[in-house]
Structure 1
């Protein structure tokens, strides 16, 4: 038997080259003259390549390959050109008015995201008032409307507000709001706090189809679900059927993520395929209408469903693919799955090139290409009588093959975006996908039959309730399995490209080397080794000698110290709620699940909060504290959690060393601040743990929230507190950083961890003046974002999240005033 191969797919290659051109343009950012040259190259390339291809097919085949290569390069150039056109900002775009007070008129063009006290929506602007003048305008504003009257899609509004640029990410690997909105074509945001600033002009704007058909259908489905289900079951069914998975509790989403089944909460090809299959079955097999008419109705149903769930790229991809497949089936024409994928991808990227950066787009195409490419190759390793004609093969082996192929197709994207790879996912999907098909089918039938007789859908909704309970329990079981997933450090695009090249060529190489049925096992072992090598290489590529990250944690302190060889210690954690967004993404990007040590300088909320928040998602070997008797509710709760989980809590005082971290010397507190028994004597800030990190000749001083009394006590130590980098005490409070302390520490660089526009007035102007007068380079996290300090031999380098950077030798002295502020 000849080995089965994947069929040729020229449209898939066209899609790949179009995506490559778009990606290249994103990196290079062509100027306007470059776009003009690109247009000329694209036009010439298309015309010449098409002409050469026509000539080659008529006269000689030897010109076909060069002509095809030229055509693909022209498509690549077209992708770059299309992105340039898409991202070009016209002169009357509303983004030009960021930072100004304006009155804008336009239409609500998105669903209203309703939360307590506020509504969020996208507002398409068509005119703007500046002073007494009215101008036409274009663009979309992400609008947050607080304590106002209810709004709806299609409302025409007149809004008085101040336009603002979205916030950029201020910490490495953290969510970038500005970039996220930019991908959606949105460049400004508005916050409206007064109802009187919003005037409803009309309620019949927006797209007629969305307003009169799509939204009523969505409301009808949601109301049907609510008529028979309540609480968590209703929310989960809405998440599965209507794409409202983000509204589920964090614990539920975490269980789906840890079990490798999170994809079912994001409406995609699986859901669209089930809807298309159910519609085709009812129309062609039950009602037996003509196949061509059934195909038209199925395509319309898919278009309606895409609109109901929000026209996400993954849904549009699946709808286009199934429309192509259904059309081919209706006219009894064979279809090429890879070509269908390529056609759908090409169309979507031509419509909106920025979808290339969308997570759903990447995962959707990665999964479908993985299935379409690998599944025919897997057939060479599993006998047909087992795969198709055997119950185990049909209901276990074949679904497992599909799940493995989808997992391999999406592995690097999952690792890149979520920093983990669920190895239990393929098996978990065997228990999750079959009931999901019934859940969606019953939900659709209930929403349809309620029109005939209201009690009728309750039968299907009650069945869905039982299936949803099973689904949730199955997901939790798999999520609780130890080693259900592997953590992955941040992958570069080069590692992702290398993986896909290997995934593309490896099955073919194995088939040529062996015809044995063991080839499948060889392939899985080989690709597992590739993933292991990629993971290890990415992890080891991170390790400098010493890296210290001072996070922009808001009004608080938080720093992570990483040593070559894999030792990490977290010093403080910032206010409650902040570390989840500022620190957790970084830890996951590093591939960390456990911290070797945590040092809490003192238990104020702006230092303890993040440590308490991260505990649970990350393991701590030991937590060091200055005392245990302070008695705040937050600290007492954390100590109680630590005790119940048998987490070691150890006291640190002057003269101690930190186990496993001999580079740290503890300088404070002494017995005047904390008793030998570990009881607080002094003011809580004055009992902060003060440590000096000494690595080679480099010295970095961490000071907590000490003030004048402790600073003067430390100044007696003389050269023992002289340092190269200083974490400025107490966020630059006017009751800290006295002249004596600044003179004794003489830092070349002073890092102030402080929140923007904080109510305390930190840092105080006089503190800035003292460090400026001493010649220190001053870095404020509220202005430069996170500060990353690396120590390499006798040199110290710093890089801020706003791209400012510099370096100095440990032998340098502060002689030049540098205040980095933007």
Structure 2
């Protein structure tokens, strides 16, 4: 039975990743094929095909229901009126006068009749308090779920859709109509008031009710470096502890009331189920809590019905039910990490039940979850094993039970509850201080690595072999697979796919900004880093560094900051800190930078690099910021690329005598603004390809229609990062040899 449920769940999970929904008639044909297989005697295969087809049909029907809920493209950027209720806990950032971010469940669209979007993710610049349960009348501007499209980066659109959010945007005007406060909202608000003054109050809130907004970026970095992020999300471990406390309480009550209770009264099992459900409710019924409580429900149900249900049947049933309730759950890393972690634990404890199995379980979790960590987070923490050996028992046996007891005593004795909160806070403070001290003394605590497809296949094979039972002879010979991985990692050539005389130019998707990556066989240059939006969000961390890790760039030779405008310079210091050996060139003065003056040139692997502008330091001093941009020319034979930053028409005309004609690639100056790409400039360069780096439906309107017409008349093929995502071009001595756009191969059916 477990295998059939897994097959069905696999069909549902697969649909969420499809670029297009399969036609339902085709799936019905698959069911018909399974009947033919039955007649030929291949019953096992037929049963598998049936259950996979059922899963695919369920996922497809769910997808057909989802598509009309996504905001129609025709309504993007328009003023829309609605009435909605704030759900979940809003987050607040004080930057730029204060901004709230929250989710709204739409009660009524007042300006649309055909939009079926039901949940929105909004930002609101206001000093007015926004709380869960508030009912607002709003004027909003929205866009479809969308994210920056680069390898290695966080897919915000996928995150939105996986949580049932159908559009995102910002509030233009809002009027508070009232407030509908749920019991959970009251509990969360009360606990926040009680715990906000404590040193570890944010972590206590995360462990008590699953509210993690208060955890700082520094704390999250520490948790990721040490492999402890899973402890900050209420999951199977926490639900199991809550259920265990409920079972223990039920046993005590059974003994105390044995004179009045019948011997068959299943009070411990029912209390275990209830306390687990209560804790899952406090945590907002996240996917890990759903999975954990469903497994508890199945196990308790089997006890009450006097039926023996295997642990793998419980696991498979929980997997199937979660996907039936949330068909898009497979888009989230938490889904895979949660279920695969439990599967690994089931494998370990199925084989042995001694105390040493706890150590073995931690080791197997470290090994088993490593491929997922690399795929989803390009991150692996060697510290995870020793730190979890200490942290998991401490949290499961001491800290989480103290928090659960404090929650219970809040109903009985506030003074005793405060004492328990203080004790949990003190233990957490000791643990966090020790953890910070240990990490601070180490030169490295984590590995950033994005494996290519072949390396990932080798890693998965290695992990599968290491997870085999100990009775399998010579299974540790699988460690020999580390040899090709090490050889690839230690490869002396930085970009072995490139030959001498070739270079790759990548225009990254950084919204309304610019960032270009140029690679030769042994060298890497980064030109601009995109914008920064306050201290908490910048494209250097969101796009540039993830791309560099995904491209397995170990060394950046040159970092160019064309000029000091935010959409180009952004958080350049973050890239500089990640690659401290990079030489820094800038169009305007920056700390430790060199000016990118015309005439500077160098040669890498048969490819020539040259700055064409600014032509002197006087030009630097006498021009506005845009016209101080570094203009970079890269040449390999007839393959020529020009990256001109934000220069405008007057600098373009000044540079025409030094500019080549009939070039291969031009990164359009100033994002395709009408103040740049003059007729004379476009006519002389006549690029075969022109790439506009611009934001999706940005209010600046780049690229300007008149500019697009000029390039069209020059015969240029045009690409825009807003539509194509990251644009990658392989350029050799004869020009452009290969062009790829990231969105072409990474689309979902709802996009």
| Post-superposition offset of 1:199 | 4.2
Q: Which residue of 2 aligns with 1:457?
A: 417
Matched, 1:72 2:51: no
Task: Give the distance between the partners of 2:370 and 2:539, measured in 1 at CA.
Answer: 29
- SS of the residue corresponding to residue 175 of structure 1 reads coil
TM-score (norm 1): 0.76
For the structure 1 residues 478 and 298, does the alpha-carbon distance in structure 2 shift closer, same or farther, using more than 3 Å as the test?
Answer: same
Cα 1:564–1:474 change in 2 (3 A) is farther
User: Could you tell me how far apart the structure 2 residues matched to 1:124 and 1:661 are?
Assistant: 57
SS at match of 1:668: strand
Match of 2:347 in 1: 373
Per-residue deviation, 1:477? 4.2
Q: How much has 1:580 moved relative to structure 2?
A: 2.7
* Residue equivalent to 1:256: 223
| Aligned mate of 2:641, from 700, 708, 711 | 700
| C-alpha distance in structure 2 between counterparts of 1:331 and 1:419, whole Å | 45
Match of 1:435 among 394, 407, 410: 394
Name 1:574's counterpart in structure 2. 530
In 1, Cα distance between equivalents of 2:156 and 2:266: 46
- Residue in 2 that maps onto 1:775: 715
Judge conservation of contact 2:521–2:605 (CA < 8 Å) in 1.
no
Matched, 1:225 2:186: no
1:653 to 597, 603, 606: 597
State how far apart, in whole Å, the 2-side matches of 1:534 and 1:352 are: 39
For 1:118, which of 100, 108, 119 is the aligned residue? 100
Q: Secondary structure at the match of 1:723?
A: coil
Verify the 8 A CA contact 1:272 1:302 in the aligned structure 2. yes
Mapped to 1, the partners of 2:5 and 2:494 lie a distance apart of 34
Which of 539, 551, 568 is the equivalent residue of 1:590?
Answer: 551
Moved more, 360-369 or 664-673: 664-673
Q: CA deviation at 1:680?
A: 4.9
State the secondary structure of the residue aligned to 2:358: helix
Judging changes above 3 Å, is the alpha-carbon distance between structure 1 residues 536 and 413 closer, same or farther for their aligned structure 2 residues? farther
**Whole-angstrom CA distance in 2 between matches of 1:726 and 1:90:** 40
CA apart distance, 1:285 = 5.0
2:371/2:459 contact within 8 Å kept = yes
**SS of structure 2 residue aligned to 1:513:** coil
Deviation per CA, 1:320-359, whole angstroms, max 9, x where unpaired?
A: 2233445567889876433321221122223322212221
Aligned to 2:408: 448
Relative contact order (alpha carbons < 8 A, sep ≥ 6): 1 or 2 greater? 2
Per-residue deviation, 1:293? 0.8
CA distance in 2, matches of 1:361, 1:139: 23
1:278 aligns with 2:254: no
Q: Distance in 2 between matches of 1:793 and 1:666?
A: 17
Shift of 1:122: 3.1
SS in 1 for 2:691: strand
Q: Does 1:38 align with 2:27?
A: yes
- For residues 53-93 of structure 1, the C-alpha deviation after alignment (integer angstroms, 9 at most, x for no partner) is xxxxxxxxx97xx4333222211111101101211238985
Distance between the aligned counterparts of 1:578 and 1:792, measured in 2? 29
CA pair 581-119 structure 1, distance change in 2 beyond 3 A: closer
Q: Deviations over 1:769-811 (max 9, x none)?
A: 5434433333344454432222256351333355399xxxxxx
**What CA distance in whole angstroms lies between the structure 1 residues aligned with 2:625 and 2:322?**
59
Indicate if the aligned counterparts of 1:653 and 1:666 stay in contact, CA closer than 8 A. no
- Specify the alignment match of 1:551 in structure 2: 508
Range that drifts further, 709-718 or 347-356: 709-718
Q: CA deviation at 1:573?
A: 1.5
Match of 2:535 in 1: none
1:120 Cα deviation after fit: 1.7
State how 1:672-683 maps to structure 2 within 5 Å. 672-673=616-617, 680=621
In 2: Cα distance, 1:182 partner to 1:159 partner: 22
The CA deviation at 1:216 is 4.0
Q: 1:161 to 1:254 in 2, by over 3 A?
A: closer
Shift in CA distance, 625/15, structure 1 to aligned 2, threshold 3 Å: same
Which range moves more in the overlay, 691-700 or 303-312?
A: 691-700
Name the CA shift for 1:550/1:102 in 2 (closer, same or farther; >3 Å): closer
Kept after mapping to 2: 8 A contact 1:147/1:195: no
Partner of 1:347: 321
* 1:237 positional shift: 1.3
Distance in 2, Cα, partners of 1:137 & 1:741: 47
Assess if the C-alpha contact under 8 Å between 1:101 and 1:162 holds in 2. Answer: yes
- Aligned residues of 1:221 and 1:447 also touching (Cα < 8 A): no
Structure 2 CA distance for aligned equivalents of residues 761 and 331 of structure 1: 65
SS in 2 for 1:595: coil
**In structure 1, the residue corresponding to 2:513 is in which secondary structure?**
coil
Aligned position for 1:178: 157
| Alpha carbons of structure 1 residues 288 and 45: separation in structure 2 relative to 1, 3 Å | farther
Q: Distance in 1 between matches of 2:530 and 2:485?
A: 35
Instruction: After superposition, give the CA deviation of every residue in 1:683-722 in whole Å (9 maximum; x if it has no partner).
Output: 5555443322123431111223334554444333364x66
In 2 relative to 1, CA 778–224 (structure 1 residues): closer, same or farther, beyond 3 Å? Answer: same
Instruction: Assess, with a 3 A threshold, how the Cα gap between structure 1 residues 16 and 491 changes in structure 2: closer, same or farther.
Output: farther
TM-score (normalizing by structure 2): 0.83
C-alpha spacing 1:453/1:580, structure 2 compared with 1 (3 Å): same
Within 2, Cα distance between the matches of 1:751 and 1:610?
23
Distance change (3 Å), C-alpha of 1:215 and 1:762: closer
1:483-541 Cα offsets, whole Å, 9 max, x none, are 4322222555x976775566445655873435xxxx6x556x3575687689899x999
- Counterparts of residues 413-812 of structure 1 (less than 5 Å): 413-437=372-396, 438-480=398-440, 481-489=442-450, 503-504=463-464, 508=468, 511-513=471-473, 522=477, 525=479, 543-544=497-498, 545-565=502-522, 567-576=523-532, 577-592=538-553, 594-616=555-577, 618-626=578-586, 630=589, 635=590, 639=591, 649-658=593-602, 663-669=607-613, 672-673=616-617, 680=621, 685-708=626-649, 710-717=651-658, 719=660, 723-733=663-673, 736-755=676-695, 767-782=707-722, 784-791=724-731, 794-796=734-736, 797-803=738-744
Task: Evaluate the alpha carbon distance shift between residue 784 and residue 30 of structure 1 in structure 2; reply closer, same or farther with a 3 A threshold.
Answer: closer
For residues 556-596 of structure 1, the C-alpha deviation after alignment (integer angstroms, 9 at most, x for no partner) is: 3310112345x321011223323332323322323445423
Unaligned runs of 5+ in 1: 1-9, 53-61, 205-210, 380-386, 389-393, 643-648, 806-821
Provide closer, same or farther for how the CA distance between residues 42 and 267 of structure 1 changes in structure 2, counting only shifts above 3 A: farther
Instruction: Please say if residues 600 and 626 of structure 1, whose CA atoms lie closer than 8 Å, have aligned partners that are also in contact.
Output: yes
The equivalent residue for 1:384 is none
Deviations 1:367-389 (A, max 9, x none): 11122224555x5xxxxxxx94x
Give 3-state SS (helix, strand or coil) of 1:247's partner.
coil
- TM-aligned CA distance change 1:425 to 1:335, over 3 Å: farther
Query: Alpha-carbon deviation of 1:464?
Result: 1.6
Distance 1:156 1:673 in 2: 58
1:27–1:285 distance in 2 versus 1, CA, 3 Å: same
Q: Give 1:265 shift.
A: 1.5
3-state SS, counterpart of residue 740 of structure 2: strand
Q: Call closer, same or farther: CA 1:491–1:306 in 2, change over 3 Å.
A: farther
Equivalent residue of 2:369, what SS? helix
Kept in 2, the 8 Å contact 1:98–1:188? The answer is: no
C-alpha separation in 1, matches of 2:555 and 2:213: 27
Q: Classify the secondary structure of the residue corresponding to 1:79.
A: helix
Match of 2:259 in 1: none
Q: Distance in 2 between matches of 1:725 and 1:661?
A: 19
Shift of the 462–661 alpha-carbon distance from structure 1 to 2, 3 Å rule, reads farther
CA distance in 2, matches of 1:459, 1:304: 23
